[in-house]
């Protein structure tokens, strides 16, 4: 998979950025538009690069403090017809499906984890539906019974792992969202029902199971991220810039 980076930098950073982009395995194309950037004033550089190599390039751009002086935006073209792009994907280390752009993951999780009124409203409605299902002995009651059972912890861990894999591999997250909801919402609904009925021991047990499920989800997701981090460092084969590029980078860092 080819991704495209749009880099706005001051003119004095352009040479070092070009050295980073053109000397990296997986680069398919680089274009420079002198003076095209108005805010910040400087040059506009576009780079087409294999997704497997994008994280390494972004790390180098961070080392040059490009986000501090300019900007970096990343997009994925729907279609790229290029022999150079095909060759770049073959030369890039690893597989596109396993590649992770950590800034992208951080931004996405930050946006999805914000506590909003709409999120709270959906959560309240979901909990009420689960409670109604338990009271009326519907199918959801069976799910509730699974939630409070001791064998449901591993399923929560699987849900967390599947959710994180879905996020970093850009797969559909709809089914994973349902999977994670099944491990949390019915337990929350059962807590409410047990409290209303005065069965405090049952409420405490369900609350404990809910907490264990949440711990399992978070732990499994963190384990997946750590695994990908370690694998990414071992698979990546960084190439150092040319001698002139190293001088440019060193001088820019000294400023």
pLDDT at 140 (0 to 100): 56
Task: Give which of 65, 60, 63, 72 is closest to 22, Cα–Cα.
Answer: 60
pLDDT at 233 (0 to 100): 59
pLDDT averages per 10-residue partition of the chain, 255 residues: 93 91 89 91 94 90 93 91 90 77 74 72 73 69 47 60 71 60 75 85 85 83 81 52 41 44
pLDDT at 242 (0 to 100): 40
Question: Contact, 2 vs 80, CB < 8 A?
Answer: yes
Four-residue CA torsion sign, 7, 9, 15, 17: negative
pLDDT at 28 (0 to 100): 92
Task: Note every long-range contact of 71-76, with CB atoms under 8 Å and residues 24 or more positions apart, other chains counting.
Answer: 71/7, 71/8, 71/40, 72/5, 72/6, 72/7, 73/5, 73/6, 74/3, 74/4, 74/5, 74/6, 74/101, 74/104, 75/3, 75/4, 75/6, 76/1, 76/2, 76/3, 76/4, 76/51
pLDDT at 175 (0 to 100): 55
Question: Contact, 83 vs 2, CB < 8 A?
Answer: no
């Amino acid at each position: 998979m080819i991704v495209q980076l749009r880099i706005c930098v001051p003119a004095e950073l352009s040479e070092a950025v070009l050295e980073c982009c053109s000397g990296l395995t997986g680069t398919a194309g680089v274009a420079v538009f002198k003076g095209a950037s108005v805010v910040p004033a400087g040059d506009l550089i576009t780079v087409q690069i294999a997704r497997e190599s994008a994280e390494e390039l972004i790390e180098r751009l961070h080392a040059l403090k490009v986000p501090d002086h300019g900007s970096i935006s990343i997009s994925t073209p729907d279609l790229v017809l290029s022999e150079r792009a095909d060759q770049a994907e073959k030369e890039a280390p690893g597989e596109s499906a396993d590649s992770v752009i950590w800034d992208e993951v951080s931004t996405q999780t930050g946006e999805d984890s914000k506590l909003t009124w709409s999120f709270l409203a959906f959560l309240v409605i979901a909990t009420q539906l689960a409670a109604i299902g338990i009271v009326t002995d519907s199918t959801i009651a069976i799910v509730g019974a699974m939630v409070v059972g001791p064998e449901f912890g591993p399923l929560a861990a699987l849900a967390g792992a599947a959710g994180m894999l879905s996020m970093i591999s850009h797969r559909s997250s709809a089914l994973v969202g349902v999977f994670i909801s099944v491990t949390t919402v019915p337990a929350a609904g059962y807590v409410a029902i047990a409290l209303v009925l005065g069965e405090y021991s049952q409420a405490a047990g369900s609350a404990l199971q809910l907490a264990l499920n949440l711990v399992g989800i978070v732990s499994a997701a963190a384990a997946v991220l750590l695994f990908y981090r370690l694998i990414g460092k071992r698979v990546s084969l960084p190439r150092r810039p040319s001698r002139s590029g190293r001088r440019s980078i060193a001088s820019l860092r000294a400023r």
